């Protein structure tokens, strides 16, 4: 038996302004989170080596869905409506729970809080293909909770 974690061991939930999004937003095909960080290198005259400085700026993530309802259209329209009215954008919380196969290892929950999301892609590949959407998000903080 393989010890590798599969998507079935992850549960991902998205909330907008504290309210859980259902329907399409529960049918996630893929989720990727990437730390937005960099290593800066400074050189000074008379010094033989460079000074290195690590800087962390937050998280970038992408979420892919197969659409089941008009949830994506409604979420995108809500963001547009708020922007036109000069109101704050919706704030999202993405929660990722990973359950490990190894016995005795507690599940880990990652909470990407105060995130901004945008629908970066929506469409289908053809007449018989599913309509899918991709959302991109950014946030400054991620809290890790070990069960």
> What are the tokens at 8?
């079935």
State how far the Cα of 46 lies from the Cα of 11, in Å rounded to an integer. 54
Number of domains comprising the chain: 1
80 is a domain residue: yes
Q: Which domain holds residue 51?
A: 7-146
Residue of 10, 17, 11 whose CA lies nearest to 114: 17
Residue 122 reports pLDDT greater than 90? yes
The per-residue pLDDT for 104 is 79
2 is a domain residue: no
* Span 41-76, pLDDT tens digits: 999 999 899 899 999 999 999 999 999 999 999 999
Placement of tokens 């995130």 in the chain: 115
State phi, psi for 47 to the nearest 5 degrees.
Answer: -110, 135
Model pTM above 0.75: yes
Q: Predicted confidence band at 147 (pLDDT cuts at 50, 70, 90)?
A: low
61 is a domain residue: yes
CATH number for position 63: 2.40.30
27 is a domain residue: yes
* Span 96-120, pLDDT tens digits: 999 988 777 889 999 999 999 999 9
> What ranges make up the beta strands (E) of the chain?
10-16, 19-20, 28-42, 51-66, 92-98, 108-123, 132-139, 141-146
């Amino acid at each position: 038996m393989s010890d590798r974690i599969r998507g079935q061991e992850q549960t991902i939930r998205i909330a907008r302004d504290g309210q859980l999004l259902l329907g399409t937003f529960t049918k996630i095909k893929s989720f990727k989170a990437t730390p937005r960080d960099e290593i800066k290198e400074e050189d000074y005259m008379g010094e033989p080596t460079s000074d290195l400085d690590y800087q962390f700026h937050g998280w970038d993530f992408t979420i892919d869905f197969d659409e089941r309802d008009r949830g994506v259209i409604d979420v995108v329209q809500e963001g547009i409506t708020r922007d036109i009215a000069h109101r704050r954008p919706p704030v999202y919380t993405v929660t990722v729970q990973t359950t490990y196969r190894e016995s005795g290892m507690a599940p880990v929950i990652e909470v990407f809080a105060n995130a901004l999301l945008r629908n970066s892609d929506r469409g289908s590949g053809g007449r018989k293909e599913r309509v899918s959407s991709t959302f991109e998000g950014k946030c400054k903080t991620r809290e890790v909770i070990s069960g």
